[in-house]
Homo-oligomer: A and B are copies of this chain.
């Protein structure tokens, strides 16, 4: 099934996957990160996936299964054991849901309890809307999506095929746009008449919020993966297969390229454009355009990340660095005076 080379007992029986430090008899585990190698020599697992070129330093009791791509194989194995809410929702449209008559539902669409689907919305075949979800007027959701409890998709927003929206995600809240009144100091709301467009195979983590555009669309392109509690502001665009970690904030009208990797708690400034493949270290702040693809950024405001680490290495000892320079200058001065 996984195309592995077997070392050890080929008749061992496997019943479930487990972490290497918790695995017991009958379980299969894996070793990919060398930091966990010491667990290999104590594990009670019946089988362990390792890479083709792994050389153990000690004797090993479980059967070794060598594969080219350990993580990929684990992922495939886990899929066999997976049982999620979607699979456990047997009903079509719950009697406790409120689906308006003008809604278009594809084949095998399921809508959970206390969920609302408003006028003009359409939901593609095979999509599962779990309980307590809000699908606003004229929202369009594609095929084979899973929408977890408490998700809110507001008027006119569009979600593609094969997307996963985790619990309490908010799509299409108003952008944060206000025009100051210079006389009173008050802020007047700028109406937000755009929408959010999410392409295919996008996964969005719990409680992440994506605001609608002032005009036009906030756009999340195919294959983007967003972690939990991320803020995506109005008119942002995020390119294909870009991955963003939790608690990052993307300010208004920022344009992030393809295949970027944005760390946790990063801030991207308003109107900034990031080239494809940009990597931003956790907790950094990007404040202007990044034009060179593949740049690695760190610091707030951002700089080249390796340079940030070099500067920070000096910063760590800054009092003694400065004291030593002062002392050397003082010594020279005393020698000159002499």
Q: Given A79-B191, A264-B249, is A311 in contact with B307 using a C-beta cutoff of 8 Å?
A: no
Q: Is the CB of B132 within 8 A of A228?
A: no
> Nearest Cβ distance between residue A243 and chain B, in whole angstroms?
7
**Residues of B contacting A231 in the complex (Cβ-Cβ under 8 angstroms):** 227-229, 246-247, 264
The reply on A283 being an interface residue by CB < 8 A is yes
The reply on A241 being an interface residue by CB < 8 A is yes
The reply on A152 being an interface residue by CB < 8 A is yes
**Residues of B contacting A113 in the complex (Cβ-Cβ under 8 angstroms):** 98, 116
Q: Is the CB of B132 within 8 A of A225?
A: no
**Residues of B contacting A112 in the complex (Cβ-Cβ under 8 angstroms):** 116
Q: Is the CB of A131 within 8 A of B148?
A: no
A72→B185 CA distance, assembly (Å): 14
Q: Which of B174, B206, B259 contacts A170 (CB 8 A)?
A: B206
A79→B152 CA distance, assembly (Å): 23
Q: Given A137-B88, A283-B285, A283-B300, is A203 in contact with B189 using a C-beta cutoff of 8 Å?
A: yes
The reply on A205 being an interface residue by CB < 8 A is yes
Q: Is the CB of B190 within 8 A of A241?
A: no
The reply on A245 being an interface residue by CB < 8 A is yes
> Nearest Cβ distance between residue A172 and chain B, in whole angstroms?
8
> Nearest Cβ distance between residue A64 and chain B, in whole angstroms?
19
Q: Is the CB of B166 within 8 A of A170?
A: yes
Q: Which of B118, B152, B205, B325 contacts A167 (CB 8 A)?
A: B152
The reply on A161 being an interface residue by CB < 8 A is no
A198→B274 CA distance, assembly (Å): 38
Residue-wise interface mask of A (186-208) relative to B, using a CB-CB cutoff of 8 A (1 in contact, 0 not): 11111111000000010101110
| Stretch with Cβ within 8 A of B (4 or more), from A6-14, A46-54, A211-219 | A211-219
Q: Is the CB of B131 within 8 A of A116?
A: yes
> Nearest Cβ distance between residue A285 and chain B, in whole angstroms?
5
> Nearest Cβ distance between residue A164 and chain B, in whole angstroms?
8
Q: Is the CB of B282 within 8 A of A282?
A: no
Residue-wise interface mask of A (245-283) relative to B, using a CB-CB cutoff of 8 A (1 in contact, 0 not): 111010100000011000011010101000000000011
Q: Is the CB of B19 within 8 A of A85?
A: no
- Report which residue of A22, A33, A132, A235 has the largest number of chain B beta carbons within 10 angstroms of its beta carbon: A132
A265→B285 CA distance, assembly (Å): 10
The reply on A60 being an interface residue by CB < 8 A is no
**Residues of B contacting A328 in the complex (Cβ-Cβ under 8 angstroms):** 329, 333
A301→B281 CA distance, assembly (Å): 10
Q: List 15 A-B contacts (CB under 8 A).
A: A22-B216, A78-B191, A82-B191, A85-B137, A96-B98, A116-B149, A170-B206, A173-B205, A187-B223, A247-B249, A282-B300, A283-B283, A307-B316, A311-B315, A328-B333
Given contacts A168-B209, A207-B207, A265-B267, 13 further A-B contacts (CB under 8 A): A18-B216, A74-B190, A75-B190, A78-B190, A84-B155, A114-B114, A149-B152, A185-B240, A187-B225, A227-B233, A311-B316, A325-B325, A335-B336
